[in-house]
Structure 1
């Protein structure tokens, strides 16, 4: 059993990770903006309201944890999502280091994955313009905040191009920097299987200071 800090546990991906972690017997401290949005109850779950942008307060909460999993998203409807993503992750990274927690797993985005050499999903024009600020923010977190880090064991886990509610099959493929597609050119994963792979990575680390991705 691990003592996990889960940031953004009330969100779409975060709630799936929360359920998967609890089902495997882990102790989870969920950090959220609105505790009332966490509808799961469990003897191994503690829910704390906190401002992610406050690194000092965050440091105090996460001290003693075995790992931090971050599904932080300032909200797709937030007009400041780009800047808030960057400042939020700077705060999270600073807090993790200050708390002497050595493992950080980040729910990444698919936008920075490659579809062919030198061309990312963001470059193809298939993503709606409305979500591009958030997509670009997460990409910059990966490139500019995580990749230069040498004193923290991090992993940035990008989902498939389409992540949606579905089945927990446990059958999927993992890759590194390239979008995983099926024989029809589709890139899909259920949020349940994404959560399985994230907790697998927590329990049996395979990726260190790198990005990895998932798909069917």
Structure 2
């Protein structure tokens, strides 16, 4: 499989890139920094492109089987999550390929007895003001994606704490924030990478979001 990974040098993107190469897929790694792209593990199946994702052409997108949007942004540019999703969808309306996979946030998951959106818990803590725009915009991204019925897309949300780390045994859900037996809500980047590659290799979700967390 030929997989384009947008944000391939970030926490999620680099973990997905590494695992995809280990599973003998061809990876087209997209990033804005040539230096960071050069630091990815050398592999004959790895192609790198130092390019803004917003400049990707339809022909570049259609040259791969799957596009993974793992782009990260600063809080003041969080709207770019929505902008990139809408651009990719607009380019690929009614196209047979590629499939689109979006790494979403945990804010759009529900939690508590009343099943409220987790983003409201994030918003209620003043200490989160510096970054709250990111989960807010990732919620808007998912809200938009749920209106799309003529593109093959799937979204994956991590748990409340998305952190760098190796793959662990995982638990899966649909729209509810997951916790382990001790009440922790954590997804390692390695756990996310396994969930992504498993979904790409054996698709189970179409035009919907699911979630993965460490057990």
**TM-score greater than 0.5 by the shorter chain:** yes
Distance in structure 2 (CA, Å) of the matches to 1:89 and 1:210: 14
For 2:153, what is the secondary structure of its paired residue?
strand
1:68·1:101 contact (CA, 8 Å) conserved in 2? no
Distance in structure 2 (CA, Å) of the matches to 1:64 and 1:99: 12
> Which residues of 2 match residues 89-100 of structure 1 at below 5 A?
89-97=85-93, 100=96
1:120 is aligned to 117
For 2:119, what is the secondary structure of its paired residue?
helix
Which ranges of structure 2 fall in alignment gaps of 5 or more residues? none
For 2:21, what is the secondary structure of its paired residue?
helix
> Root-mean-square deviation (CA), in Å?
1.8
For 2:132, what is the secondary structure of its paired residue?
helix
1:51·1:58 contact (CA, 8 Å) conserved in 2? no
Distance in structure 2 (CA, Å) of the matches to 1:34 and 1:72: 13
Tell me the TM-score normalized by structure 2.
Answer: 0.90
Distance in structure 2 (CA, Å) of the matches to 1:214 and 1:108: 11
Q: C-alpha deviations, 1:43-77, integer Å up to 9, x for none?
A: 001011222223xx43232222111111012x22x
> Which residues of 2 match residues 59-208 of structure 1 at below 5 A?
59-73=58-72, 75-76=73-74, 79=76, 81-97=77-93, 100-116=96-112, 117-124=114-121, 125-126=124-125, 128-144=128-144, 146-169=145-168, 171-208=169-206
Alpha-carbon shift at residue 101 of structure 1 (Å): 1.8
Which ranges of structure 1 fall in alignment gaps of 5 or more residues? none
Change (3 A) 1:210 1:188: same
For 1:65, what is the secondary structure of its paired residue?
coil
2:94·2:150 contact (CA, 8 Å) conserved in 1? no
For 1:207, what is the secondary structure of its paired residue?
coil
Alpha-carbon shift at residue 168 of structure 1 (Å): 2.3
1:10 is aligned to 9
Change (3 A) 1:12 1:178: same
Give the number of equivalent residue pairs: 208
Alpha-carbon shift at residue 165 of structure 1 (Å): 2.3
Tell me the TM-score normalized by structure 1.
Answer: 0.89
Distance in structure 2 (CA, Å) of the matches to 1:112 and 1:70: 17
